[in-house]
Structure 1
Amino acid sequence: MMRHRWGLSLGVLTVPAFVVFIAAEPPRAAAQGAHDYPIPSSAGEAFSPIREGFTVPLHPRDDLRGPMQVPVARETGLAMERQERWPAMPVFFRDTALRADSRTYWFDEHDFGYDEPQAFTTGGSLSYESGYLADFFQLRSVLYTTQPLYANADAGQSLNLSPDGDEITTLGQLNGRFRFAGQQLTVGRQLVRTPYINPYDSRMIPLTFEGIVLVPDRQGPDTTFDYFASYLTQYKPRDESDFESFSNGLGVAQNEGVLVTGASYHKDGFNIGASNYWIEDTLNTAYGEIDYALPFGGPGGDPRIRIGANILDQRTVGAELIAGAPYNTYQASARVVASYRGFVFTGAVSQVGDEASIQKPFGFSSSYAAMMVTNFEQAGVDAYLVSLSYDFAELGLEGLKFMAAWGQGWGRNDPVTNGDFANQEELDLRLVYEPLGGRLQGLRVEVEYIDWTVFDDALPSDELSQFRTIVNYTVPLL
């Protein structure tokens, strides 16, 4: 018998009129691509992991370098008002910012003939950021919550609630940031945005991390050189309130963190960089990427073409305590992106090594062929993807965008290395409305449909389908 639970608590961050659907990950876990990234309006805005560089944002979509940023006039206005009203107040207090981000989901999934998770959840985050004390020290924190309004017996599989289908409230971020000698050092619980470790903000609560991170103090779209040095001790999964070690996240009993280093170079449409992630006695992951926007286009920037190639190499290290060791695998991908008058076309291919599937519990996929449910990361799988998006601003509908994508993967089904998830295809449809101004500024509505088919007779059904509607609303409080 199906168990249903209804909750009446909306939480202090809820905007009750907003309803959102989100999907669970399917059995034998397929990772997702960076589908929370804004839909591009041109090839120049297409997502590139290395173009985004290495940052420690307070919110997952802060300071993105690819797409046009949505102005938040209310936050800017509040800051200017404080500066004018209290010019003599210490900056540490005067520049304090307090912000509520509401998020509400309704989720429904049909999972290969097994379970049918459904969850209606609401909540969001409350963030605090002080000004700088003596232009040297800053405090930051974010409280996250997800509350069930409705949940059936399988709702815990959605990753929007705990594995038992219960609420989650957690202080996911609490850190101090130090500025010195052109550097920025962040210590404590924080968001990290790199190609392999990142917020993966496709659920109610993003991945957050605990440790110490060093990056350049001045960053932005005009940054030429980025670097990143970090030791992260723990991470917090999206469906848990507690932190755990990185080795635990890979199924290894000992408690080991991850040592991260990386650097990237950006100039004249050219982006190149690499990063490395080492977990003692477990796994080493290295990533490299070259991305280039071809130097042509008319006065309006059309047409535009962008090309790129990347590779993620993953191998067991030290005592090789991870299941399936020893092994050395990889995922390589390449793409071309072309745009004209609001239309953006992407074609991508990828290939995974035969020895093992890619392990990626700490962020979304860096593969250009990644889709909304599968990123074709299973061992021995070759894949291709085609997608087409359109920005309706060309028709006067500012903030409305649509994307359709289709991908196919094929290879040898192997119950040991890829769990028979080789031959597969996926269709993704995504509609986003994010007004750039007016009374609805701060609102983002997403409606998504996913159909993933795996050609494997061992499954009760060869199809997983999801329907998601995701509504976010940002309210600057201070």
Structure 2
Amino acid sequence: MKTKIRLNTIIAAALLVTTVTSANDEVPKQALKSNYQLVYSQKPKQVDNFLEMFKEGIFYGRLRSNTFMYKWEEENTDQKDHYTSGLGGSLVYQSAIYNDFDFRGALYYSHGFTNLSEADIKFAKPGQDVLSRFDYSNTGNQNMSALGQAYIRYSGLEKSDITVGRQLVETFYTASNDTKMIPNVFDGIVFNTTLVSKTPIKLAYLAKEKLRAHTDTHSVLAYGDANSSSSDSPSWDQNDDSAMHKGLTYTKLKDAGKEDAPLITGDIQNTSIENLKLNTSFYVVPELVSEIMAEANYKINMDGFSLSPGVRYIKQFDNGAGEIGGAAINGKLVGKSGAFGGYKDASSLDSQMIAARLVGAYKNFKLNLGYSQVMDEADLVTPWRGFPTAGYTRSMARYNWVANTKSYRAELTINPNKTGVYKDVFMQLSALHTDADENKGQFDENFYYAGFVQNLPMMPELQWRLRLGYTDTDKVDADSLDARFELNYLF
């Protein structure tokens, strides 16, 4: 506890010092895109000696407030109206580059507020990550402090670099997904190269993960149980992501000798053919489960207008996880009918997904019509904050990759840009229909979303966000409103 208090004090003091020293900066050092990825306009330079590596480094600061309100159609023993809020920030230090080496360290902090008691924190929905549910339920602690980045990078390889340590890993299957207070990070090795013409490649070996509501690392694919922690709520001790396969428990994996299996993943992109973008991604958790994704998007340019059809295919391979955890990621084979709760093979994770979209762009407007279908085989296993349906039918907090699920979405975006500074209000409006399989315990639903982002014209370092999602579901008394308001001050 004393260590946590000291770390909290260091973070708060460092944020204050950095705010004062950067108050007169005219050019923002960093900006935040609508997808929560940071864009750095000021970067450290090359230096000639070891001491200058530290002296010429740059601090990046962030103060943040994030508030969530969740309202149910009717409250019951499984549904409680609630709010959560987080107040905190981050401090990142990026060294200068010396002899092709540089390093980065980042501290994050969040103090959570909620109207839910320690016993009721299990009812928290999207705002649960402003604090650690595990710590709150066991000790009442509403503070989180974490070393979120700590890595060394070597860029002396021809058109390539390698990064070792704790880091944000942005691939198709992994993401920082920094939508709450502290990002999702991994301990491992990441290799980037552009040696092949017009073909960037990223490969990663990730030994551990630290999810957004965690202060310590844990297994990439193990669901906590009484053998992973003797404390209350042990399921929140390991990978407790909402898309985690809950049948792959720590005990079952330990019995199989696979509780510490790593995640190996990679992306390959190619733009050799004009207007055609090809993407291939994969992941492997050895001796458990793996996937491969292939995607093609072709852009047709017209007079001031473009039309881009795209298709995506995912194939999931069961390499032993199905026998351990089953075909359903909820860890249970539930449903209204069928010997296996609607699953044709209860012990297989072999599965597939197809998706298609048509994107039209005109000036500052973009319309995306998307479709996805997970085949009637097994659920997709992707609990690392990368979303298989992203860009097609992924909307805020919607997990539409349970087996035999079809989804249809229309999305309109207004004023998008890649700079992260939205002088004009960025708007994202969408309607999603999910055709689910009731035999698997799922329900059809419509989800309506509206999101707004703007940097204040007189203070571009300060950005506000408002996100609203309404669920209209066939499940009795389960319609809900999800409201989120966020402030970010970057310096």
Place the TM-score, normalised by the shorter chain, in its bin.
0.7 to 0.9
Residue of structure 1 equivalent to 2:300: 294
Q: Does 2:490 align with 1:474?
A: yes
Give me the whole-angstrom Cα distance separating, in 2, the residues matched to 1:454 and 1:191.
Answer: 35
Residue of structure 2 equivalent to 1:261: 266
Residue of structure 2 equivalent to 1:209: 186
Give me the whole-angstrom Cα distance separating, in 2, the residues matched to 1:207 and 1:225.
Answer: 27
Given that 2:15 and 2:91 are in contact with CA atoms closer than 8 Å, whether structure 1 keeps it comes out as no
Q: Does 2:208 align with 1:243?
A: no
Sort the Cα spacing of 1:328 and 1:167 in 2 relative to 1 into closer, same or farther, 3 A.
same
Give me the whole-angstrom Cα distance separating, in 2, the residues matched to 1:106 and 1:427.
Answer: 20
1:365 to 387, 396, 420: 387
- The code of the aligned residue for 1:256 comes to A
Sort the Cα spacing of 1:287 and 1:168 in 2 relative to 1 into closer, same or farther, 3 A.
same
Residue of structure 1 equivalent to 2:425: 400
Give me the whole-angstrom Cα distance separating, in 1, the residues matched to 2:80 and 2:409.
Answer: 28
Percent identity between the two aligned chains: 19
What SS is found at the alignment partner of 2:377?
coil
- The code of the aligned residue for 2:381 comes to Q
Greater mean alpha carbon deviation, residues 155-164 or residues 139-148: 155-164
Residue of structure 2 equivalent to 1:198: 175
Give me the whole-angstrom Cα distance separating, in 2, the residues matched to 1:13 and 1:89.
Answer: 23
Give me the whole-angstrom Cα distance separating, in 2, the residues matched to 1:361 and 1:132.
Answer: 34
Sort the Cα spacing of 1:425 and 1:258 in 2 relative to 1 into closer, same or farther, 3 A.
same
Q: TM-score if structure 2 supplies the norm length?
A: 0.73
Sort the Cα spacing of 1:155 and 1:146 in 2 relative to 1 into closer, same or farther, 3 A.
farther
Cα displacement (A) at 1:147: 0.7
- The code of the aligned residue for 1:212 comes to I
Residue of structure 2 equivalent to 1:138: 102
Deviation string 1:345-376 (CA, Å, 9 cap, x unpaired) is 11111101212222222014231111112142
1:389 to 413, 416, 419: 413
Residue of structure 1 equivalent to 2:253: none
What SS is found at the alignment partner of 1:247?
coil
Structure 1: tracts of 5 or more residues without a match: 1-8, 16-35, 40-59, 64-70
Q: TM-score if structure 1 supplies the norm length?
A: 0.75
Sort the Cα spacing of 1:214 and 1:142 in 2 relative to 1 into closer, same or farther, 3 A.
same
* Structure ranking higher in helix proportion: 2
Cα displacement (A) at 1:439: 4.6
What SS is found at the alignment partner of 1:330?
strand
Cα displacement (A) at 1:214: 0.8
1:327 to 349, 358, 363: 349
Give me the whole-angstrom Cα distance separating, in 2, the residues matched to 1:462 and 1:280.
Answer: 39
Q: Does 2:409 align with 1:413?
A: no
Q: Does 2:274 align with 1:310?
A: no
Cα displacement (A) at 1:322: 3.0
Sort the Cα spacing of 1:341 and 1:261 in 2 relative to 1 into closer, same or farther, 3 A.
closer
Deviation string 1:210-269 (CA, Å, 9 cap, x unpaired) is 1111112799xxx82111222110111111111111121343421111122331112533
Give me the whole-angstrom Cα distance separating, in 1, the residues matched to 2:115 and 2:433.
Answer: 33
Give me the whole-angstrom Cα distance separating, in 2, the residues matched to 1:252 and 1:313.
Answer: 24
Residue of structure 2 equivalent to 1:378: 402
Sort the Cα spacing of 1:173 and 1:392 in 2 relative to 1 into closer, same or farther, 3 A.
closer
Given that 1:141 and 1:174 are in contact with CA atoms closer than 8 Å, whether structure 2 keeps it comes out as yes
- The code of the aligned residue for 1:433 comes to Q
Higher RCO (C-alpha under 8 Å, 6+ residues apart): 1
Deviation string 1:355-409 (CA, Å, 9 cap, x unpaired) is 222222201423111111214212211111012222299xxx9331222100101
Q: Does 2:97 align with 1:108?
A: no
What SS is found at the alignment partner of 2:221?
helix
Tell me the number of residue pairs that the alignment of Structure 1 and Structure 2 aligns.
393
Deviation string 1:62-110 (CA, Å, 9 cap, x unpaired) is 46xxxxxxx84xx47xx69xx9xx9999651343111111221111112
Structure 2: tracts of 5 or more residues without a match: 1-8, 17-31, 137-141, 223-238, 240-244, 251-258, 328-346
Sort the Cα spacing of 1:201 and 1:331 in 2 relative to 1 into closer, same or farther, 3 A.
farther
Give me the whole-angstrom Cα distance separating, in 2, the residues matched to 1:200 and 1:145.
Answer: 16
Residue of structure 2 equivalent to 1:97: 58
1:227 to 201, 204, 210: 201
Give me the whole-angstrom Cα distance separating, in 1, the residues matched to 2:82 and 2:393.
Answer: 27
Give me the whole-angstrom Cα distance separating, in 2, the residues matched to 1:115 and 1:276.
Answer: 39
- The code of the aligned residue for 1:346 comes to N
CA RMSD of aligned residues (A): 3.0
Cα displacement (A) at 1:423: 1.0
Give me the whole-angstrom Cα distance separating, in 2, the residues matched to 1:262 and 1:316.
Answer: 21
What SS is found at the alignment partner of 1:159?
helix
Sort the Cα spacing of 1:449 and 1:391 in 2 relative to 1 into closer, same or farther, 3 A.
same
What SS is found at the alignment partner of 2:302?
coil
Give me the whole-angstrom Cα distance separating, in 2, the residues matched to 1:14 and 1:422.
Answer: 46
